[in-house]
Homo-oligomer: A and B are copies of this chain.
Amino acid sequence: MTRIQSVRTFDVRFPTHETLAGSDAMNPDPDYSAAYLRLDTEIGSGHGFTFTIGRGNDIQVAAIEAVARLIADADVDGLLADMGDTWRRLVHDSQLRWLGPEKGVVHMAIGAVVNALWDLRAKRAGQPLWLHLAGLSPDELVSLVDFRYLTDALTPDEALDILKTAEPTRSERIAALQAEGYPGYTTGPGWLGYSDELLDRLCREAVQDGFQQVKLKVGADLDSDKRRLKIARAAVGDDIRIAVDANQRWDVGTAIDWIRALEPYDLAWVEEPTSPDDILGHATIARAVAPIKVATGEHAANRVIFKQLLQAEALGVVQIDATRVAGVNENIAILLLASKFGVPVAPHGGGVGLCQAVRHLAFFDYAAVSRQLDGRMIEYVDHLHENFVEPLEFRRGRYVAPHTPGASTEMRAESLERYRFHG
């Protein structure tokens, strides 16, 4: 029996409010933070975290500790050998489930624990996580997914079909990913707290750096949004896509009016127009602003929300997040749902380590699930990666394929110490 030797948690907070990087219409002064977990076992260490924006990171740490207690005495080999069962054991714990169910602090804490176990499992396999997942059989992958509440939209057999269709050509796509990487887009120029001059300069730099899409935060003031979009469009030219992100600022009616007013600037998508819980609202907005696409997902609580957004034809872009849902397993469910409904996935990046972690899921998606790159990009924010032991590599607008074993979620000991929060 292989034991967990220690569970260590860290409340890590970076004082990002000082620079206004990360500022948007709903989050004026975030302190990018991680509720971080290190699992030490006899066969190695696994690292996972939840991204938060400051206050409350201590609550998230308490939740991770509570979830980790559920597996304190478990056999690590057993946990890793059947990660589908491990996921259900954590998510279906009836007492903890009451605190969601399957949403918010507890669900994200399960994600941190599940992701730490995947980090450990991929390291033991000697593979980067995406390649490890892309090497599992369709049956193994289906066994990772909890189909509870999904079967009216996606059955295990349908999921198996999607994976089997992709299987014969996986190796070609893996080779392409290793040679060419995966496209990214940048949110760097568009933070709401930035001056017009900085916006202009960063947009021009983004084009020079090879980006095919930039994203601007909007939603605080319509005239200001128009002015900033005009600056951005002039800076990037007609061939580079511009997306906008309202960070849940609007009611349904306001969203429709506001987005229509921004139509002249040729928007690639509008992100988080309203409450992430409002499936019917997103559907109403999507119908009203077509052909502009609606995107959401970084705050979508679980696979049941994604299922409905897809059933309601509310989404043109599915934005998975590495630490919002209950980890790798649930994101595989969401990738399968997106593939079933034929909607492209453009993962949420930024924060602390989200780009590090989520790119594994996008690489896996292309290799083993969707087989598509059209309209797909991973958000890229060049920020805080230096705090990770193996910072991501990014070249000419593209993510380089991760090539070291694990999930790329281990933070540097110096960073954990330096930015550790002491009340």
Residues of A within 8 A of B (CB): 26-31, 52-56, 58-60, 62-63, 66, 93-108, 147-152, 248, 251-253, 274-281, 284, 299, 301-302, 304-305, 307-308, 311-312
- A275 and B30 within 8 A (CB): no
Q: B58, B252, B312: which contacts A151 (Cβ < 8 A)?
A: B252
When distances are taken between beta carbons in the complex, the residues of chain B under 8 Å from A103 are: 100, 103-104, 277, 301
When distances are taken between beta carbons in the complex, the residues of chain B under 8 Å from A148 are: 251, 275
Given known contacts A103-B104, A103-B301, what 14 new A-B pairs fall within 8 Å (CB)? A27-B95, A30-B94, A52-B99, A53-B95, A55-B95, A59-B66, A59-B99, A99-B105, A102-B277, A103-B103, A148-B251, A149-B281, A152-B252, A277-B302
Q: How far is the CB of A60 from chain B (nearest CB, A)?
A: 7
Knowing A66-B58, A311-B280, the reply to whether A28 touches B94 (Cβ < 8 A) is yes
When distances are taken between beta carbons in the complex, the residues of chain B under 8 Å from A108 are: 99
Q: B55, B93, B252, B311: which contacts A66 (Cβ < 8 A)?
A: B55
How far is A308 from B252 in the complex, measured between Cα atoms in Å? 12
Chain A, interface SS category: loop
When distances are taken between beta carbons in the complex, the residues of chain B under 8 Å from A31 are: 95
A sample of 11 cross-chain residue pairs with beta-carbon separation below 8 angstroms, ordered by A number, consists of A31-B95, A58-B62, A58-B66, A62-B62, A63-B105, A102-B275, A104-B106, A149-B251, A152-B281, A275-B304, A301-B301
Q: How far is the CB of A33 from chain B (nearest CB, A)?
A: 9
By Cβ-Cβ distance, the 3 closest A-B pairs, closest first, are: A104-B104, A55-B95, A105-B105
- A56 and B60 within 8 A (CB): no
How many copies of the chain does the oligomer comprise? 2
Knowing A59-B59, A66-B56, A308-B278, the reply to whether A27 touches B98 (Cβ < 8 A) is yes
- Which of A62, A63, A277, A304 counts the most chain B CB atoms within 10 A? A277
- B95 and A54 within 8 A (CB): yes
- B101 and A276 within 8 A (CB): yes
- B301 and A277 within 8 A (CB): yes
Q: B99, B102, B274, B304: which contacts A149 (Cβ < 8 A)?
A: B274
- A251 and B152 within 8 A (CB): yes
Q: How far is the CB of A220 from chain B (nearest CB, A)?
A: 13
When distances are taken between beta carbons in the complex, the residues of chain B under 8 Å from A95 are: 27, 30-31, 52-56
Closest to A55 in B: B95
Knowing A66-B56, A94-B27, A106-B56, the reply to whether A101 touches B248 (Cβ < 8 A) is yes
- B63 and A59 within 8 A (CB): yes
- B62 and A59 within 8 A (CB): yes
When distances are taken between beta carbons in the complex, the residues of chain B under 8 Å from A101 are: 248, 275-276, 299
Closest to A148 in B: B251
When distances are taken between beta carbons in the complex, the residues of chain B under 8 Å from A278 are: 149, 304, 307-308
When distances are taken between beta carbons in the complex, the residues of chain B under 8 Å from A59 are: 59, 62-63, 66, 99, 105-106
Closest to A61 in B: B62
How far is A152 from B288 in the complex, measured between Cα atoms in Å? 14
How far is A278 from B303 in the complex, measured between Cα atoms in Å? 10
Q: How far is the CB of A126 from chain B (nearest CB, A)?
A: 35
- B152 and A253 within 8 A (CB): yes
Q: B55, B98, B302, B308: which contacts A93 (Cβ < 8 A)?
A: B55
When distances are taken between beta carbons in the complex, the residues of chain B under 8 Å from A305 are: 277
When distances are taken between beta carbons in the complex, the residues of chain B under 8 Å from A98 are: 27, 30, 52-54, 56
How far is A324 from B312 in the complex, measured between Cα atoms in Å? 27
Q: How far is the CB of A6 from chain B (nearest CB, A)?
A: 18
Q: How far is the CB of A309 from chain B (nearest CB, A)?
A: 10
